Amino acid sequence: MAQTEQAIVLFSGGQDSTVCLAWALKTFDRVVTVGFDYGQNHFIEMACRTRVLALTNAGGEDHVLRLPILNEISETALTGDMEIFMQQNGLPNTFVPGRNILFLTTAAMLAYRQGITNLVTGVCETDYSGYPDCRNAFIQSMSESLSAGMDTPMKIHTPLMFIDKTATWEMAFALGGQEFVDLIIEETHTCYRGDRSHRHAWGYGCADCPACDLRQRGYETWVAAG
């Protein structure tokens, strides 16, 4: 790999993006991070991402972009006061339409300005809530659209795309050992309800929302496998 290889990691402060950050730090020579403030109910993740960046010694340039339009035009359980339930279209009401489209577009805008052509995101279609903007077909299409629209090759890397949450815990261990796994447990945030008051073996959360369920089941299966 050339010594000029650089990447921007879409970093929320959650388990998946933290694993992707560690992967990027081992893969690229320079890593920039970007987070998004869109009025999410679990805004506590923004504080968590700051701590994770410090503890992982990422040391790179970090940006936080505000995208209030997602809150203004969305009626979802992530941006409003409502219970989580499955909708008639088969998607949970935690799905924020257009969220990853805007995240990747604004990250690509930042990348273009800095001469960076690699984006890293923690989306996954193997063990997820069914969001269409987490599927590989969307990522490939988005990569082509960004590249065409900016007349610059924009490659979107998805290290977790085809692995489940159990394998994500295993990947974390492979990247940084038990110390990194412990950091994920103690410092990252996944819970859609923003619950940091209940501590479990797998981390903090309500243990009831879809995000907590995936994280918990993955962790318990990984531990059981030894």
- Of the candidate ranges 9-18, 29-38, 71-80, 112-121, the one whose mean pLDDT is the lowest: 71-80
Torsional class of 59: left (φ above 0), alpha (ψ -120 to 50), beta (otherwise)? left
* Paired residues of 92 in beta bridges: 86
Output the pLDDT for position 207: 96
Q: From residue 131, how far is each of 53, 93, 136, 183, 221 by CA, in Å?
A: 27, 10, 11, 27, 23
Q: How far apart are CA 190 and CA 223, in angstroms?
A: 19
Query: Mean pLDDT over residues 100-104, rounded?
Result: 96
Q: How far apart are CA 169 and CA 214, in angstroms?
A: 11
- What's this model's pTM, rounded to 2 decimal places? 0.92
Residue 4 has pLDDT above 70, yes or no: no
Output the pLDDT for position 46: 92
Output the pLDDT for position 12: 96
Q: How far apart are CA 194 and CA 40, in angstroms?
A: 9
Query: Mean pLDDT over residues 97-116, rounded?
Result: 95
Output the pLDDT for position 119: 98
Q: Sorting pLDDT into bands at 50, 70 and 90, what band is 2?
A: very low
Residue 91 has pLDDT above 80, yes or no: no
Q: Sorting pLDDT into bands at 50, 70 and 90, what band is 75?
A: confident
Q: Which CATH architecture has domain 6-189?
A: 3-Layer(aba) Sandwich (3.40)
Residues 6+ away with beta carbon under 8 Å from 223 = 201
Percent of the chain with pLDDT over 90: 76
Query: Mean pLDDT over residues 133-137, rounded?
Result: 94
Query: Mean pLDDT over residues 141-163, rounded?
Result: 98
Residue 3 has pLDDT above 60, yes or no: no
